[in-house]
Structure 1
């Protein structure tokens, strides 16, 4: 009788194992073609699941987007440090779910066993970079505040990842971004070139390098690396604007226009881009295009509009359309009454627009009086020009008065 029961048990066990193997094989096939829900259903049929099955369930749930279920299964799969693969994926998903403290614990446990694995340090750095820093200091202690601003423990993990693998692109990328924020441009460039030795087309690294040159004012180098991004197909409004500004600084106005027109393809109603194009077209004396973009800048811009009005007034001034020049310079001064450039432009426009010389003379005198006692008045070219024109107007009016008396 005992032999009979043993045979029955072995037959049932064999059938159960066959069912498990079948469910596992079908589940793997469904997972491979992206049918995650049915794959999960097959994995769930497996009796007495091993850690490897829980890992498959976790991956299927993660691919499907049911992340809480994925976390639960990863936790079952990662029952010991021997299951390093499951723990690694579990920790990464914890970061995705913004469970940073738990992720830190997972990767710290992995590092305690696998202390030469660079990616575990990188992942722990990611977890800790996003954790809130609960540091309370007195606002008056500015020295301590500056020191704490540069104290970032997670940076040490990124450094350790690079120390273990000098080609770890993600860790190098995080470090370059960190040093860019700290304005340590020399470190940015050192690390960026280190990364590019092993991966010359890493667009994240190239972008950080280009920004480093941009912010330190190295225009030629900035242009070179932003242009490199375009060559690699990284065409964005940010890149176009930065590149356009670099060409603007070098007074390569046609090149700058090309870049800002490219920026408009991403945001056709961007008032800043339109206003910049209006200025650039003024420089190239394409006054029709300057007028168009100046009007569009005003159309799309919220308050304040002072600069946009001023740029448009300059366009009309160059076109010798004195009526519209006066209209928009007045609007500029309504927005910003202390805009010195606009004040002087108004006087110049009035000089050409008004027939009454005495009214124009009064405007020059008021402008000179307002600014002649300024700290840098003796170096101010607008004051010099205003005085020269004032003196000439005085002579013209004097001569005219003399002719009338005769």
Structure 2
């Protein structure tokens, strides 16, 4: 009889084990084809779940997007540093969920055992990169020192990852970005070229390198690397604007226009892009386009509008549409009376628009009187032009009045 019960127990145990194996296999098949909810249902049928089953549940929940459930199961799977795969994935998900302190603890535990794994240092750096500071300078020195000692500095972790693996692209990118923020451009470039040796199309590294050249004023090099980003399919408003500005500095106005038009596709109502295009089209003598974008800049921008009105005034001046030129230069000066360029431009427009020569003369005289006592007045080319035109007008008025007396 006892043998019979033993046999029955073994049969039932065998069936239960077979059912669990079947549920696991079915769950794995469903997970493989992206049917995560049904895969989860199969895994949940397993009565005696171990770390591997919890890991499968965690992965399925993460793939499905139910991240809180994924965290719960990762925690059950990551019972010790022996479960290194589960702990690694658990720590990464904690970063995604912005639970940075917990993520730091997970990767610190892994580092204590696996001290030569570069990615664990990189992940801990990520955990602390955006971790809110709980340190207050008002705290006693003893407490402050304790808190500071507990914080792992992200840059140090990134640099450790690079020291362990000189081809770790993400760590290299983070280190390069850190030095870019410090404006240490030689270090940025050295790190960038090191990264590109092993991965020549790393767009994050190329972007950092392009920005380094941009901010240090190496325009040709900046153009080269921003153009590489576009060639690699990285088309963004940021890239287009930076590239447009670089071409502008090189006085390649047509190419600059092309880039700012590309930027405009991302933000069609960006007043700054329209204003910049208006100025560029003035340089290329495409005055119709300059007028169009100048009007859009006025339409989309909140006050003040002095620069946009001034650009429109210059456009109409070049079109010899003196009425509109005067209209917009006056609007510019209403917005910002202390605009030297607009004041001089108004005198030029009046010179072509007004029949009253004395009214024009007064504008030049007022301008000269206002700026002739400036510290660098004798070096001011605009002031010199105004003085020359004043003298010429005085001569013209004198000659005209002499003819009238005869």
- Give the Cα separation in 2 of the matches to 1:198 and 1:303: 50
Contact 2:118–2:164 (Cα < 8 Å) also in 1: yes
1:267 offset after TM fit, Å?
A: 2.1
1:396 aligns with 396
Contact 2:125–2:152 (Cα < 8 Å) also in 1: no
1:216 offset after TM fit, Å?
A: 0.8
Moved more, 219-228 or 351-360: 351-360
State yes or no: 1:61 paired with 2:61.
yes
2:370 aligns with 370
- Give the Cα separation in 2 of the matches to 1:285 and 1:222: 27
1:188 aligns with 188
- Give the Cα separation in 2 of the matches to 1:137 and 1:25: 56
Contact 2:128–2:152 (Cα < 8 Å) also in 1: no
1:231 aligns with 231
Give the alignment of 1:371-386 within 5 angstroms. 371-386=371-386
- Give the Cα separation in 1 of the matches to 2:338 and 2:321: 24
1:279 aligns with 279
SS at match of 1:82: coil
State yes or no: 1:290 paired with 2:325.
no
The one-character-per-residue Cα deviations of 1:107-159 (angstroms, maximum 9, x if unpaired) are 00000000000000000000011112244459xxxxxxxxx9xx981100000
SS at match of 1:269: coil
1:143 aligns with none
1:287 offset after TM fit, Å?
A: 1.2
- Give the Cα separation in 1 of the matches to 2:303 and 2:185: 35
- Give the Cα separation in 1 of the matches to 2:240 and 2:126: 30
1:84 aligns with 84
1:405 offset after TM fit, Å?
A: 2.4
Aligned pairs, how many? 395
The one-character-per-residue Cα deviations of 1:257-282 (angstroms, maximum 9, x if unpaired) are 11112222222222211111111111
The one-character-per-residue Cα deviations of 1:140-192 (angstroms, maximum 9, x if unpaired) are xxxxxxxx9xx981100000000000000000111111111111111111111
2:141 aligns with none
Contact 2:253–2:280 (Cα < 8 Å) also in 1: yes
The one-character-per-residue Cα deviations of 1:356-400 (angstroms, maximum 9, x if unpaired) are 111111111111111111122111111000111111111111222
State yes or no: 1:198 paired with 2:198.
yes
Contact 2:119–2:161 (Cα < 8 Å) also in 1: yes
1:142 aligns with none
State yes or no: 1:18 paired with 2:21.
no
Q: What value does the CA root-mean-square deviation take over the aligned residues?
A: 1.4
The one-character-per-residue Cα deviations of 1:60-103 (angstroms, maximum 9, x if unpaired) are 01111111111111011011110000000000000011110000
1:176 aligns with 176
Distance verdict in 2 for CA 1:135–1:330, change over 3 Å? farther
State yes or no: 1:132 paired with 2:140.
no
- Give the Cα separation in 2 of the matches to 1:403 and 1:161: 88
Distance verdict in 2 for CA 1:229–1:152, change over 3 Å? farther
Give the alignment of 1:325-344 within 5 angstroms. 325-344=325-344
2:153 aligns with 153
- Give the Cα separation in 2 of the matches to 1:350 and 1:85: 78
1:358 aligns with 358
1:318 offset after TM fit, Å?
A: 0.7
1:270 aligns with 270
1:256 offset after TM fit, Å?
A: 0.8
- Give the Cα separation in 2 of the matches to 1:378 and 1:127: 59
Return the TM-score normalized by structure 1: 0.95
Return the TM-score normalized by structure 2: 0.95
Distance verdict in 2 for CA 1:152–1:52, change over 3 Å? closer
- Give the Cα separation in 1 of the matches to 2:306 and 2:216: 29
The one-character-per-residue Cα deviations of 1:284-329 (angstroms, maximum 9, x if unpaired) are 1111121111112212222221111111100110111100000001
2:243 aligns with 243
| Structure 1 runs not aligned, ≥5 long | 139-147
2:142 aligns with none
- Give the Cα separation in 2 of the matches to 1:53 and 1:191: 42
1:39 aligns with 39
Give the alignment of 1:115-130 within 5 angstroms. 115-130=115-130
| Structure 2 runs not aligned, ≥5 long | 139-147
1:30 offset after TM fit, Å?
A: 0.7
- Give the Cα separation in 2 of the matches to 1:240 and 1:161: 33
SS at match of 1:131: coil
